[in-house]
Structure 1
Amino acid sequence: MSEPERRPFVSARTVAERAGVSRSAVSRTFTDGASVSEETRRKVLEAAGELGYHVNHLARGLRERSNIVCLVVADMTTPIRARLVDVLTRKLQAAGKVIMIINTGTDEESVASALRQTLNYRADATVVLSGTPSAKLIETSLANGQQVVLINRDDPLTGCHNLSVDNQMAGREAFFLLRRAGCRRLALVTSTASTASLLERERVFVEIAKEAGMAVTVMASGPTSYASGYESARRLFGRSDGPDGVFCVTDLLALGFMDAARHEFGLSLPRDLCLVGFDDIDEGDWQSYKLTTFAQPFAAMADHLVELLGQPVAAEAGRRIFEPVPIWRKSVRPSAD
């Protein structure tokens, strides 16, 4: 069975010929606020309806602002990244933006290739969620009238807006949650990803504990995943001095850690072990986990992003830090005081 012949897109010129008007009259009819007579508008809309015509916003964007916002992102299958993309796209679409998602790697060349794509499509702005573009490419983007916004990328690049979560606060508050619960043997579970955000949570947690006279065992068994958290628990509780208070720098690590602690070592939370995560992924609130954690304020970050996109590209770039929100559930004991 042969495939049906693909019909070409209907052009504005074709509509003009059917309606018996000029090409510019068609353009004015579909441009808000443009001057066009009611008779001409009627003819154009009637012809457009018959032909199935739709305005080519991409072509229009080659001549003026495209309203396109590109999201450069990797690892979209991870729960926290999927939530961030969901919140951003909903907020941007509500603001009338057209979203283009480029799924990329985290290395500099992958991000550079993605950013060059956004310039080809005349995107008004690019939001980088993964990896770090080079300073030279940022300069090129700005010179072409494109805004560049980094989210949770701790990189001081000139000309970029940077929206990030206060990871220092998270590390500090995680320690105090465990100390107030009466924990004495502390551990921190991280990953081999070693991103700036993860390292900052780790650094502050360990430093605050040291100032309080408490040692912290740091464990990284692999990438940021459930399996790595599970393996970290097996290693830590395979020792005679296993921890009674643990901060996992992401919820995904925490869920794996919790399952291994309970099912392989018979520990009860929070009686035998107190556990704190970070991210507030949906799975952490499941009845089988009820993980105490910190939520990233994605809605507030998305609202601020929309505000930034309404500013001129030449507006002074800067960094905005958002406080994580403590989410108290059942994996940490109440204060022992």
Structure 2
Amino acid sequence: MQREIEALSRTTHGRGGGPAFASAQEVARLAGVSRSAVSRAFTPGASISPDTRAKVEAAAAELGYHVNHLARGLMRQQTGIVCLVVADIQTPYLSRLLESLSRSLQEAGKVVMVLNAGRASGNVEGALRQTLNYRADATVVLSGTPYRSIAQSCLDSGQRLVLLNRNDHLPGTVNLSVDNARAARTAATLFVRAGYKRFALVTSGIGTPSLLARRECFIATAAEAGADVTVWEGGATAYESGLQGGTALFSSDDPPDAVFAVTDLLACGVMDAVRHRFRRRVPDEVGVIGFDDIEQAGWASYDLTTFAQPVEDITDWTVRIVADGIVEGTADRVFEASLVWRSSVARAL
């Protein structure tokens, strides 16, 4: 560890006369103070006279010196690095959550690293190995469920590991999830009360724990009300999949009159298929409900009834875990996805 710190702290020169980084020792020499005085000058709350601080700051400005927080963090066994492991960054919900988490963590003084896990097998494990290489203090997994072995390696290294909307509870981790089951039951109940009879569900081929929970609970609640559900499944969790699913459903001899799409992107695709390819009126002839409350759901062209993911609550709690070090068990939370009523579903009869 000491060698790592020395390597990070010393002045380095690029090949062929490249850029050089001033060291704290050089600042001390120019300012005529001790090396420890330089350290105190850049440590909040440290004891140092105004005159000495001014000398250090002037010397640092002249040399272009910047504090090496990574080296300081390695010495203290706390780098301040928080890694966010995510796939499908381009989707509106994950993009919004990623923006919220990264901004709030940075405001809390953390250094955020985003690791794009993609959807290939083993990518989450590869990303978590990188968090170990960079001595991350904490990792938040937004996509995928890591194997127990690599998760345990992260925990053994002293990391705090936060899993968002994952099914498997791994000992030592903190689990934050949304009550997908309750929202899906509400969606089915709304259709029943509005007088719709033929239900359908549109989902992607990405079987995440959240999407599976929405699917299973919607079907179960519809069955309790005596309604069968036609399921269309395929493709990515994207607008194009919703358009394809809506086209397939309404090309049948007995098309549905109510569709629950497990995400808003899918729901927008379904609505466009219903209205533009089959000339059906929403909500008079077909009711549609989505999930996530992405920006597009509120556009006048969709005005989609949906369930809002509590992004701010998830962010606030995650920052508390990472910043305050809340321990396993006491930090687990299940958040409610609140109904956002718009005009894509008829009111109850």
Measured against the shorter chain, the TM-score band is: over 0.9
Q: Do the aligned partners of 1:229 and 1:252 also contact (CA within 8 Å) in 2?
A: yes
TM-score w.r.t. the length of structure 1 is 0.94
Specify the SS of the correspondent of 2:48: coil
User: Counterpart of 2:97 in structure 1: which amino acid?
Assistant: L
Deviates more, 1:135-144 or 1:155-164: 135-144
Look up the match of 1:276: 289
Q: Cα RMSD between the aligned structures?
A: 1.6
User: Counterpart of 2:126 in structure 1: which amino acid?
Assistant: S
Q: Do the aligned partners of 1:185 and 1:216 also contact (CA within 8 Å) in 2?
A: yes
Matches within 5 A, 1:30-69: 30-64=42-76, 65-69=78-82
Specify the SS of the correspondent of 2:184: helix
User: Counterpart of 2:33 in structure 1: which amino acid?
Assistant: V
- Seen in structure 2, the aligned counterparts of structure 1 residues 124 and 186 have a Cα distance that, compared at 3 Å, is same
**Gap regions ≥5 residues in structure 1:** none
Deviation at 1:276, TM superposition (A): 0.2
User: Counterpart of 1:267 in structure 2: which amino acid?
Assistant: R
Look up the match of 1:292: 305
Deviation at 1:167, TM superposition (A): 0.7
Look up the match of 2:114: 101
1:95 & 1:223 partners in 2: Cα distance? 35
User: Counterpart of 2:172 in structure 1: which amino acid?
Assistant: G
Q: Which residue of 176, 201, 223 corresponds with 2:189?
A: 176
1:142 & 1:239 partners in 2: Cα distance? 52
CA deviations 1:81-137 (Å, max 9, x no partner) are 101101111222222222111112245522122112222222211001111222122
Query: Identical aligned pairs, as a percentage?
Result: 53
Q: Do the aligned partners of 1:108 and 1:134 also contact (CA within 8 Å) in 2?
A: no
Deviates more, 1:227-236 or 1:86-95: 86-95
2:180 & 2:348 partners in 1: Cα distance? 23
**Is 1:17 matched up with 2:34?**
no
- Seen in structure 2, the aligned counterparts of structure 1 residues 318 and 48 have a Cα distance that, compared at 3 Å, is closer
Look up the match of 2:39: 27
- Seen in structure 2, the aligned counterparts of structure 1 residues 78 and 228 have a Cα distance that, compared at 3 Å, is same
For these two proteins, the number of residue pairs brought into alignment is: 333
Deviates more, 1:4-13 or 1:221-230: 4-13
- Seen in structure 2, the aligned counterparts of structure 1 residues 195 and 239 have a Cα distance that, compared at 3 Å, is same
CA deviations 1:126-174 (Å, max 9, x no partner) are 0011112221222221222110001112221111101111010111000
Deviation at 1:183, TM superposition (A): 0.3
Look up the match of 2:4: none
Q: Do the aligned partners of 1:246 and 1:274 also contact (CA within 8 Å) in 2?
A: yes
Q: Do the aligned partners of 1:246 and 1:276 also contact (CA within 8 Å) in 2?
A: yes
User: Counterpart of 1:325 in structure 2: which amino acid?
Assistant: S
1:76 & 1:252 partners in 2: Cα distance? 14
CA deviations 1:281-318 (Å, max 9, x no partner) are 10111111100000100100111111212344755465
**Gap regions ≥5 residues in structure 2:** 1-15
Q: Do the aligned partners of 2:172 and 2:328 also contact (CA within 8 Å) in 1?
A: no
Q: Which residue of 172, 179, 197 corresponds with 1:159?
A: 172
Look up the match of 2:266: 253
2:145 & 2:73 partners in 1: Cα distance? 26
1:313 & 1:143 partners in 2: Cα distance? 16
User: Counterpart of 1:14 in structure 2: which amino acid?
Assistant: E
Look up the match of 2:248: 235
